Amino acid sequence: MELPENPNKDNNGYESAEKLILRWDSTASEEAREKMIFETDRHEADLYLQAVDEIQRSLSNASISNNTNAAAAAAVDDQSKVNSTIQIAMARLEDEFRNILMTHSSALETDSLFDPSSSSFSAPSHHELEEDDSVSNEDSSHNDLLRLPLQHCESSDSSTYRSTSSIREVDLMPAEAVCDLQAIAMRMISSGYLRECIQVYGSVRKSAIDSSFRKLGIEKLSIGDVQRLEWEALESKIRRWIRAAKVCIRILFASEKKLCEQIFECVGTDIDDACFMETVKGPAIQLFNFAEAISISRRSPEKLFKILDLHDALMDLLPDIEAVFDSKSSDSIRVQAAEILSRLAEAARGILSEFEGAILREPSRVPVPGGTIHPLTRYVMNYISLISDYKQTLIELIMSRPSTGSRYSGDQSTPDMDFAELEGKTPLALHLIWIIVVLQFNLEGKSKHYRDASLAHLFIMNNVHYIVQKVKGSPELREMIGDDYLRKLTGKFRQAATSYQRATWVSVLYCLRDEGLHVSGSFSSGVSKSALRERFKTFNAMLEEVHRTQATWLIPDTQLREELRISISEKLIPAYRSFLGRFRSHIESGKHPENYIKYSVEDLETAVLDFFEGFPVSHQHMRRSQ
């Protein structure tokens, strides 16, 4: 290789560069230890970078072999001297790099990011992104031109990974600091200090992310820690995680990626991605470990809706996760997110199936007082009403119909369900209908624990009516259940009401028949007064017993209670009025008629109003017209 035309000029350049670098050697000077070059004087910082460039050129020249032994020996000395100088320079640049990062690294101001109405959180339109990009490019170019020793590097803001409108990047550092960091990184990496550069960058930026995590309420919990928490405590943490995850993926991690691109993209292939992963891989794993712990936790019905919330949030974030973590080195993050999503879906399916089984096996045998709505009925119907709120998600997750009993199996412990009658319904709708079928099957079993058949029918009526009202009250649930099945349920509670009336009132009304009261052979005029007195006594006793017991029974639905009372009155009152009209004179012509005709028609009308109120009354309460 030819010698430089002016060796003295090169030597002078090297000596000046060496002098400047040694002056800022923090191991040899107290002043150098106390001051930072890039904080002191912009001109001094530029001179220092030029000095590093000069030393790097000298290192390159010194590595070229010479022909003579003397020249080779001199070259070894020169290279050793240059190596020493470059090590001092790199140590200094590493300190400067760390100081600039620490000076400008702080947690994101997350308060406004949580508010969807805040302009800093709203997802910009594609046009707005393009406008932001053009401004950023101009600013970046202008700042680069202020650095005499720096090579121009185009802004990476137009990178194709920002493909989702929900990503919202923010500038984590001022442009001047970014340019300084880029200048230092270029020189450290070209001198073989890539590992040190990445380590310093990652450690400082990771601390900033940790601070942002604390502000967002993201705790450092292992999967085991999460699974040991009570569910009530986890519910609030899940709500907080969903809000925080959106900020982390769409703002925090996306902005970290942008910063890495700005500083490292022009330095070398994949270096920006290596720094990005060094910075965010640990926090990303910490973030996703929480959702993973929930996805593999013990299943129980109360967890379904928060699991669906997590699933929906992660599904919504998945395109952003794939956009931000788009490189080969971040495969593990994308895979973890996809696997968690899959496990959450499987958990939701499993919980629904286990919920169906739990309803079937619910063991309580103590009858609810007064035949009112069973707590199981309220719980199940409120539960499936909530399920219908997640219709869109569950229609995608539930793809197989429920495992039901067969009408031909002979298994008395499981109800059967005729799918032919429900053709065209989604698997989710079939599961909801199956839950109602299983609930009714369980209620039928519970009704058998009532000693009074009338109360058993009233219990079924109350509970099936409640099921119908809950279905009618939820448009989403009604749409899935369908009016055909709803009519079937309505028919069932009306049939239970009819069965109740038969069980209670057939025997009472039987007392008001004519048969058995007439003396044989004297049909037109002969009435057995003793038989008539006995008939009135029996009627009074039965009516008083029904009044006493059924006043304590409860029909909580006002309209249903009134309808049943009207139905009772329509049968009882005309029958009693007619019987009284035909036979009153036979009793009143004898002794102590008040012992037999104890109640007027108005008394009965009033007594019926006491039925199904849920509290006791005495039979004296019936005689309000006296």
pLDDT digits (tens, 9 = 90+) for 498-537: 999 999 999 999 999 988 887 765 445 578 888 999 999 9
Report pLDDT for 9.
45
pLDDT digits (tens, 9 = 90+) for 83-94: 889 999 999 999
Residue 141 banded pLDDT, cuts 50, 70, 90: very low
Q: How far apart are CA 50 and CA 148, in angstroms?
A: 9
Q: H/E element holding 444? A: helix 427-447
Half-sphere exposure of 99 (CA within 13 A, CB side): 16
In the predicted model, is pLDDT for residue 308 greater than 90? Answer: yes
Q: Is 64 exposed, middle or buried (0-12, 13-18, 19+ CB in 10 A)?
A: exposed
Three-state secondary-structure class, residue 380? helix
pLDDT digits (tens, 9 = 90+) for 420-469: 777 888 999 999 999 999 999 999 999 999 999 999 999 999 999 999 99
Q: What is the mean pLDDT of the chain?
A: 84
| Tokens coding 570 | 């329509």
Q: How far apart are CA 444 and CA 432, in angstroms?
A: 18
Report pLDDT for 589.
84
In the predicted model, is pLDDT for residue 22 greater than 60? Answer: yes
Three-state secondary-structure class, residue 501? helix
Q: How far apart are CA 612 and CA 562, in angstroms?
A: 9
The contacts of residue 285 (CB under 8 Å, 6+ apart) are 333, 336
518 - beta bridge partners? 527
In the predicted model, is pLDDT for residue 96 greater than 60? Answer: yes
Residue of higher predicted confidence among 36 and 4: 36
In the predicted model, is pLDDT for residue 2 greater than 90? Answer: no
Residue of higher predicted confidence among 623 and 585: 585
Q: How far apart are CA 487 and CA 490, in angstroms?
A: 5
Residue 135 banded pLDDT, cuts 50, 70, 90: very low
| Tokens coding 59 | 């290192």
Residue 370 banded pLDDT, cuts 50, 70, 90: very high
Give percent helix, percent strand, percent coil of the chain, each to the nearest 5: 70, 0, 30
Report the b/e string of 175-190 with b at 16+ CB within 10 A.
bebbbbbbbbbbbbbe
pLDDT digits (tens, 9 = 90+) for 250-287: 999 999 999 999 998 777 668 888 899 999 999 999 99
Report pLDDT for 286.
94
Apex CA 310: angle with CA 332 and CA 360, to 5°?
A: 120
493-500, Cβ contacts within 8 angstroms, sequence gap of 24 or more: 493/460, 493/461, 493/464, 493/465, 493/468, 496/457, 496/458, 496/460, 496/461, 496/464, 497/457, 497/461, 497/564, 497/567, 499/457, 500/454, 500/457, 500/458, 500/461, 500/564
The arithmetic mean of pLDDT across residues 146-158, rounded, is: 33
Residue 31 banded pLDDT, cuts 50, 70, 90: confident
In the predicted model, is pLDDT for residue 114 greater than 70? Answer: no
In the predicted model, is pLDDT for residue 578 greater than 60? Answer: yes
